[in-house]
Amino acid sequence: MRRTASPIRRANPVKMPIRILIVEDSEDDALLILRELRHAGYAFADQRVETLDALGVALDSAAWDVIISDYRLYGFTGLDALRLVQEKGLDIPFILISGVMGEDVAVEAMKAGCHDYLMKGRLARLGPAIEREMKEAQVRRARVRAERALRKRMDDLAALYEATRALHATLDTQAMLDQVCRLVADRLGLRLAWVGLLLPAASQTGGVEELVPHAMAGPMADRAAAFPLPTTGSRAGTLHPDDDPISRALRTCAVVLVNDLSNDTACASVWRSDALARGLASMVALPLIRDADVLGVLVAYGHAPGQFDQEAVQALQALANLAVIGLERARLHEAVQRHAAALEDAVRQRTAELRASEAFFRAVFEGSAIGIALTDAHGGILMTNPALQTLLGRDDQALRGAAMADLVALPEGIDTPSEQPRRFECTFVRDDGSAGTLEVAVSTIKGLSACAPILCGRAGAADAAETMAAYYVWMVGDITEARLAQQALIQAEKLGATGRLAASLVHEIKNPLQAAIGCVQLAREAAADGEDFARYLEVVCRELVRADGLLTRLRDMNRHTDLRERTSVEVNALLEHATMLVARRARDQNVTIEMHLAEGLPSLNLVVDAVQQVFLNLALNALDAMPNGGKLHISTESVAGGVRIRLADTGDGIPTDLVPHLFDPFSTTKQEGLGLGLYICRRIITEHEGSIEVESTGDAGTVLAVVLPT
């Protein structure tokens, strides 16, 4: 079979060697695959098998990094080969290649567990596909290893928990301290044992730490409503250094042993008398120390002098250490419980927020009437909403992986990545073969890498390439009907404008023509009677000149100004000239013209005749608005980038509903005229890159402002 030569491509740098198993009964096709892999920069060891039995032997005899299988083989298909791999419990990237694979077969293959499929005519995707699938396989294997490590860690923690539970039956501080006191009293046969814990210094105690008893045991425990504490016989005492053995133990962080309370002069007499009166003859105070912090004290009392020997003190020290460990465990347990509760609340709240956010996104995405697609940086579709699927006539599975450029006729350069949002129109072909028009908006989205695989229904974490990639949201709407309606509206407006033009021409030109015809008839009768008919011919000439003027204005409506005729001119001089031309009419109408022209204005590059026509037309319009007299105020001023000219009259003003159409052709407030004057004025000013607008209007008159650039 003759093969079309592929374009010469430069080989990529050599990647890490891989082992490839090829299931292919055509040696030529296998060679094409290997050649493509070499172009992709792979160094590999390969083996080709042609039967299922050979495939099974190859899978059992070696470890493979990737399996590439033809779809149609002699006696079996690529899906049979895939099932064999799955039956052996192997997680190896499996890529299916076919020369003629329909979409239904491709969908079936992907559902069966095939990692990717390629057409033989598009083997250029093979290298990237292998690289992607191998990375995803590594992610899956890493996840399995992490799950195994987690299970082992949980087993170790369970074993550690059981050992800790055996050593420390409870995490309750009070129960643990009660147990320590009972062990002290029962093991050593003591009259009384108690544990006190220090509270932080408070303002009520003058900044001195307060010792509060938490547990006690022994024969005197039932009768010890109060027992010896520093400086007081109450159940809570305030520490004062060197007043008693307990204070010394807490201050020096060392064990204080009093073998005979009756002979210990270091104890305050009041405190010693109180202890002896209760039948206590000896005592030992052991500080409870964690690192450098003193937590409290363990105090034991004996009924006889010398009751605490070295072994007894060592036993008490071990129990004191056990109490410290228990206190620390209880503190840590309480802290962990608080942190766990806070973490659970945070996770619960965050989970609820994420679920609500996802539900909202899904509702907006799937319920939107506008077609929406999420693509990668290369234009490949990752997900679509039902509106776009209906618009393009394909389901989500068929659209996923396709390129937008293959579905619609994108303008040149649009399919390349861009950081800026873009909006454009393009064409597409419907299911019935008719052409349509789409309005498309493309926006870049960053920070979506972590959740894009989840949104797109793809398991596994994002790899390094995905983390750096940008995604694009395509908003697609069918505007075919809107464009047709717009074209119909434009055509209707053209016809309407033509009708208005025809009506205006009929009205405006018919009047002078009828007058001329009438005067010609009168001149003929006068000539027949031998009378002077020159006056009739003058009227004919005047009316024909009037008709010629109307046609000239109509011609000027779309006649562009020749900007090559621009010269440097003072705008004040043009205004003074225009004012001189209308001065006679203004005087006849009893209109006062006031001019406030700024000095030092920059010269402007203007087509003098055209701009002079604008100023003259605006001045005449102002006079038309003041038939019974008034005031016309003309002023100039320098503004950023140009000069502003303002003409304000005190006429009747312009109705509010006519202001938006003031510069439209054939729009007029006069009984006579075509309504082209202001339209032509705006065209001339616009061609000079300036602007003209109505600043204010009303019963008090109208203000027109013209801005011309320097």
Three-state DSSP string of 8-19: CCCCCCCCCCEE
Give backbone dihedrals phi and psi of 375, rounded to 5 degrees, phi first.
-125, 160
Residue 368 has pLDDT above 80, yes or no: yes
Residues 546 and 681 in one domain: no
Q: Is residue 511 part of a domain?
A: yes
Q: What is the pLDDT of residues 250-259, one digit of tens each?
A: 888 889 888 8
Residues 576 and 664 in one domain: yes
Q: Which amino acid is at 31?
A: L
Residue 452 has pLDDT above 80, yes or no: no
Q: What is the pLDDT of residues 617-659, one digit of tens each?
A: 888 888 888 888 889 999 999 888 889 999 988 887 777 767 7
The answer to which of 328-337, 538-547, 584-593, 649-658 has the lowest mean pLDDT is: 538-547
Residue 384 has pLDDT above 60, yes or no: yes
Residues 223 and 318 in one domain: yes
Domain boundary among 295, 323, 351: 323
Rounded to two decimals, what is the model's pTM?
Answer: 0.35
Residues 34 and 132 in one domain: yes
Q: If we measure between CA atoms, which residue out of 177, 182, 201 comes closest to residue 192?
A: 182
Q: What is the pLDDT of residues 153-190, one digit of tens each?
A: 564 344 334 434 534 567 777 877 887 888 778 767 78
Q: Is residue 343 part of a domain?
A: no
Mean per-residue pLDDT, 574-578: 86
Q: If we measure between CA atoms, which residue out of 200, 283, 301, 289 comes closest to residue 253?
A: 289
Give backbone dihedrals phi and psi of 704, rounded to 5 degrees, phi first.
-110, 135
Q: 293 is written with which tokens?
A: 């912090």
Residues 6+ apart with CB under 8 A from 491: none
Residues 216 and 79 in one domain: no
Provide the b/e sequence for 679-691 (b: ≥16 CB within 10 Å): bbbbbbbeebebe
The answer to which of 315-319, 393-397, 463-467 has the lowest mean pLDDT is: 463-467
Name which residue leads in pLDDT, 345 or 514.
Answer: 345
The confidence score (pLDDT) of residue 287 equals 92
**Percent of the chain scoring above 90 in pLDDT:** 3
Q: Is residue 633 part of a domain?
A: yes
Residues 6+ apart with CB under 8 A from 179: 169, 170
Residues 567 and 702 in one domain: yes
Q: 145 is written with which tokens?
A: 């290893």
Q: What is the pLDDT of residues 261-289, one digit of tens each?
A: 887 766 666 667 777 777 788 889 999 99
CATH number at residue 530: 1.10.287
Domain boundary among 429, 452, 478: 478
Residues 549 and 567 in one domain: no
Please check whether residue 155 is in contact with residue 190, taking contact to mean a CB–CB distance below 8 angstroms. Answer: no
CATH number at residue 116: 3.40.50.2300
Q: 177 is written with which tokens?
A: 């301290």
Residues 302 and 229 in one domain: yes
Residue 493 has pLDDT above 80, yes or no: no
pLDDT classification of 498: cutoffs 50, 70, 90? low
Mean pLDDT of the chain: 77
Instruction: Give the span between the Cα atoms of 277 and 497, in whole angstroms.
Output: 122
Residue 508 has pLDDT above 80, yes or no: no
The answer to which of 438-442, 480-484, 518-522 has the lowest mean pLDDT is: 518-522
Domain boundary among 540, 556, 572: 556
Number of CB atoms found within 10 A of residue 411's CB = 11
pLDDT classification of 216: cutoffs 50, 70, 90? confident
The confidence score (pLDDT) of residue 157 equals 43
Q: 670 is written with which tokens?
A: 């006069």
Range of 68's domain?
18-142
Q: What is the pLDDT of residues 586-621, one digit of tens each?
A: 888 898 989 999 888 988 888 887 888 888 888 888
CA distances from 175 to 179, 216, 299, 331 (A): 6, 11, 17, 14
Give backbone dihedrals phi and psi of 236, rounded to 5 degrees, phi first.
-135, 130
Residue with tokens 């004290």: 297
- The maximal CA–CA distance of the chain, rounded, in angstroms, is 170
Please check whether residue 626 is in contact with residue 632, taking contact to mean a CB–CB distance below 8 angstroms. Answer: yes
Please check whether residue 40 is in contact with residue 127, taking contact to mean a CB–CB distance below 8 angstroms. Answer: yes
CATH number at residue 693: 3.30.565.10
The confidence score (pLDDT) of residue 635 equals 92
Give backbone dihedrals phi and psi of 93, rounded to 5 degrees, phi first.
-55, 125
Q: Is residue 172 part of a domain?
A: no
Residue with tokens 């003591």: 190
Residues in the chain: 710
Name which residue leads in pLDDT, 557 or 327.
Answer: 327
Number of CB atoms found within 10 A of residue 636's CB = 21
Q: Is residue 524 part of a domain?
A: yes
Residues 6+ apart with CB under 8 A from 223: none
Count the alpha carbons within 13 Å of 317 in the hemisphere toward its beta carbon.
13
Residues 211 and 244 in one domain: yes
Q: If we measure between CA atoms, which residue out of 116, 93, 117 comes closest to residue 18?
A: 93
CATH number at residue 228: 3.30.450.40
Residues 541 and 573 in one domain: no
Q: Which helix (H) or strand (E) holds 44?
A: strand 44-49
The confidence score (pLDDT) of residue 456 equals 54
Give backbone dihedrals phi and psi of 441, rounded to 5 degrees, phi first.
-125, 130
SS3 (DSSP) at 496: helix
The confidence score (pLDDT) of residue 472 equals 86
Residues 488 and 422 in one domain: no
State the total domains in the chain.
5
The confidence score (pLDDT) of residue 234 equals 36
CATH number at residue 372: 3.30.450.20
Count the alpha carbons within 13 Å of 223 in the hemisphere toward its beta carbon.
6
Residues 488 and 474 in one domain: no
Q: Is residue 616 part of a domain?
A: yes
SS3 (DSSP) at 456: coil
Q: Which helix (H) or strand (E) holds 405?
A: helix 404-407
Long-range contacts of 543-548 (CB under 8 A, 24+ apart): 543/512, 543/513, 543/515, 543/516, 543/519, 544/512, 544/516, 546/512, 547/509, 547/512, 547/513, 547/516
Residue with tokens 């932080």: 200
Instruction: Give the span between the Cα atoms of 309 and 438, in whole angstroms.
Output: 98
Q: Is residue 160 part of a domain?
A: no
Q: Where are the alpha helices (DSSP H) in 10-168?
A: 27-39, 52-61, 78-87, 103-112, 126-167
Q: Is residue 497 part of a domain?
A: yes
Q: Which helix (H) or strand (E) holds 66?
A: strand 66-70
Residue with tokens 């950023």: 640
Rounded CA Rg of the chain = 50
Q: Which helix (H) or strand (E) holds 172?
A: none
CA distances from 509 to 480, 516, 552 (A): 43, 11, 12
Please check whether residue 359 is in contact with residue 454, taking contact to mean a CB–CB distance below 8 angstroms. Answer: no
Number of CB atoms found within 10 A of residue 299's CB = 27
| End-to-end CA, the chain | 74
Residues 6+ apart with CB under 8 A from 497: 665, 666
